Structure 1
């Protein structure tokens, strides 16, 4: 069953990705739509027997598929960390900080306010405290999705552009804070609010960063230098993959998200000063062709849009979607103005930050598991993640077409060329 599912999703994701490219969209748009078409939203509605035969509602079977897809997202995020240009980020750090901060605070506050005053009771489980539900919705709306952003920027050849680097950096800060907030709100849902529920994830994060700076950097530099001595690029690829997965394992062991650890591992590799990006081209090629499309296709399988036929759920969904989009673009606008960006850079920054993708899917899954969300609110949050992710590519294309390529960007493109091809 697993092998059949992998074959179907990878082939369909490839075909839909090609179709998306034909109509002027990045492949990630087509890849995200595969799960929607094959899952309960479309195939499950038209031919439920066929859908259940292909993707049975067995939890263990779904975990198998998720495990393979998880490998794809960890490697994708790791490659993204390798691609970050820290010289640019240090120079424009104020823009990154303000964009990230405002892109968190505005949608978080609007989400909490909407949940407390405007959303119908049908979206909140009867045994969930209104404050916990409101805080959880605020967290779900304030996160961005580094995996979707990274894949979109790679597909569109924008990861070397200055605005692409700013999107990645601001999105990363959003996700770090978002995972911390998720840890706190999840603990509140289970045990109530205590000092330990707030301090523990913050202390873990500080410890991780300290260990990586003191121990991780010299170890990674030595490992990558050793791998580069080989005539084959295989040793470099294996070493890079091992570093990314070890860092992901470390954060997962501390109760933080493994995606965050994978991103830190990629940063360590990229800043080691010993890596030739051409030697990592085989990793990027295999990732872009199989594991990353599989991950995005799998994400859409959890959606069930049939619950939107109820008027209260539909109105609540439109309100949540509007709050999510407005909050991120408002944060990008105010943050971009502080960094003196022009209107097209602000539009591109808002479009990239608005993509929520799998991060919001993970948050929604946690909420459903803890009983903070019901099926209706879960479906709305997942739908918001997909719509905002699909919105990003055309807006990015429209905005970046009007931005001139600088000498710095062209130099960065030549450096990153093995990852862009």
Structure 2
């Protein structure tokens, strides 16, 4: 039912000039407690039995889809462009992270005590809120760029790079805030994740890249599609498992694995087309629908919750957009490139939902604040695609972009009539 609803609403969203992810997220919202659970609770309990095992099954399938989706994001990154423009990505990412982080922490320190949990500490609460305001969501950004066929555009690549930096710093910040909320901050809580991160990058560059490249080239020599698809899937899952074991999250390892596979060349990536189709058409929609299924928006009927949610939503959107726009402007990008970057980076999606769930589990966030953060995740994920399309439609396709689009056999979003070198 989730997959059927996600497919139908995804098609409807595409007919309305939205990317499919908009409909896929709404599928879970409509079939979840936000609508079906309130209108027909018996049908909701029959369709989704309230047992842990049932949701574990959905989560497991969704996690596979998430890992593979992020891996294809990594495979789509232009590593030569990353080396050439990594400073631009950092300049875009850091203001887009620090400005909403500061705004979120400030608001968290000023909100009424009644919004805090019974045993919650205000510093931990404010830090959780700041991290939730600051992050972007690589899975949502990637799916949006794929749906809009913009993932190989220069601005699309910059959005992915800046979003990756945001996600990495967000996970590191989450580990620190979790330590503050539980045992208090210790030096090891900050040093170990950074050390593991540096080790993963070094191993990927000096060991993983030549090894994965050789494996994928050997697999690609086979006449059938099977060996290259199996090899890529195994490599992605191994990378995801390795970073998960280091407490750096599986999606970071999947991103690294995808980048290593992409470094083997566009011909290898093109041979992964059947797996990519399965991910984008089946597994990823199911994951996004499952994420929407956990959201209960009926709490927004309370005036206090709605008022706080509206305030935080405005702060989240303005803070993230202005930060990314400022970083793009300082990097010498033009106005429409800055608009597109601000729009793309604004999508919070699953990353923010995960942070909210961790906050609830630790007793830092109340149900009210959880609902508010989830609302921000939904609205920013829904508003990002049309704003991104608006900004990108004002940008001409460059010669470099045309070469990249041809190499990866993906049609351009806009006609190449007005190209510039």
Q: Tell me whether the two structures share a fold, i.e. TM-score over 0.5.
A: yes
Q: Counterpart of 2:16?
A: 23
Give 1:284's aligned residue: 276
Correspondences of 1:96-107 after superposition (within 5 Å)? 96-107=89-100
| 1:11 is the counterpart of 2:4 | yes
Mapped pair 1:241 → 2:229: no
Give the corresponding residue for 2:86. Answer: 93
The answer as to whether partners of 2:91 and 2:330 remain within 8 angstroms in 1 is: yes
Aligned to 1:109: 102
Q: Whole-Å Cα distance in 2 between the matches of residues 214 and 162 of structure 1?
A: 27
Q: 1:275 to 1:180 in 2, by over 3 A?
A: farther
Which of 381, 404, 408 aligns to 1:389? It is 381
Counterpart pick for 1:255 among 232, 247, 259: 247
1:227 pairs with 201, 212, 219, which one? 219
User: Tell me, what secondary structure is at the counterpart of 2:409?
Assistant: helix
Moved more, 191-200 or 130-139: 191-200
- Equivalent of 2:76, from 83, 89, 92? 83
Looking at structure 1, the residues matched to 183 and 401 of structure 2 have their Cα atoms a distance apart, in angstroms, of 49
* Distance (Å, rounded) in 1 between the aligned partners of 2:228 and 2:179: 40
In the alignment, the residues of structure 2 paired with residue 382 and residue 337 of structure 1 have an alpha-carbon distance, to the nearest angstrom, of 30
Alpha-carbon separation, structure 1, partners of 2:329 and 2:86: 14
In the alignment, which residue of structure 2 is the partner of 1:131? 123
Partner in structure 2 of residue 59 of structure 1: 52
Number of the residue aligned with 2:258: 266
User: Who is 2:286 aligned against?
Assistant: 294
Corresponding residue for residue 188 of structure 2: 196
- Structure 1 unmatched runs, 5+: 1-7
Question: What is the rounded CA distance, in whole Å, between the counterparts of 1:58 and 1:99 in structure 2?
Answer: 43
The superposition leaves residues 98-145 of structure 1 with CA deviations (integer Å, 9 ceiling, x where unpaired) of 11111110111100000101x233332020100000001111111111
Residue pairs, 1:242-391, within 5 angstroms? 242-273=234-265, 275-391=267-383
Corresponding residue for 1:3?
Answer: none
Shift of 1:146: 0.5
> 2:412, 2:285 → 1: CA distance?
16
- 200-209 or 124-133, which deviates more: 200-209
Specify the SS of the correspondent of 2:21.
Answer: helix
Is the Cα contact below 8 Å between 1:348 and 1:399 reproduced in 2? yes
| Preserved contact between residue 281 and residue 418 of structure 1 (Cα < 8 Å) | no
What's the secondary structure of 1:276's corresponding residue? helix
Q: What residue in structure 2 maps to residue 414 of structure 1? A: 406
Equivalent-residue separation in structure 1 for 2:180 and 2:13 (angstroms): 42
Contact 2:243/2:253 (<8 A) preserved? yes
My pick for the range that moved more, 286-295 or 337-346, is: 337-346
Is 1:402 matched up with 2:388?
no
Normalised by the size of structure 2, how large is the TM-score?
A: 0.95
SS at match of 1:157: coil
Distance 1:61 1:259 in 2: 23
Aligned length: 413
Counterpart of 1:4 in structure 2 is none
Runs (5+) with no aligned partner, structure 2: 414-421
Aligned mates of 2:29, 2:83 — CA distance in 1: 40
1:170 pairs with 2:201: no
Cα displacement string for residues 59-105 of structure 1 (whole angstroms, at most 9, x for unaligned residues): 22111110100000100000000000122223322221111111110
Contact kept? 2:103, 2:315, Cα under 8 Å: yes
User: What SS does the corresponding residue of 1:57 show, helix, strand or coil?
Assistant: coil
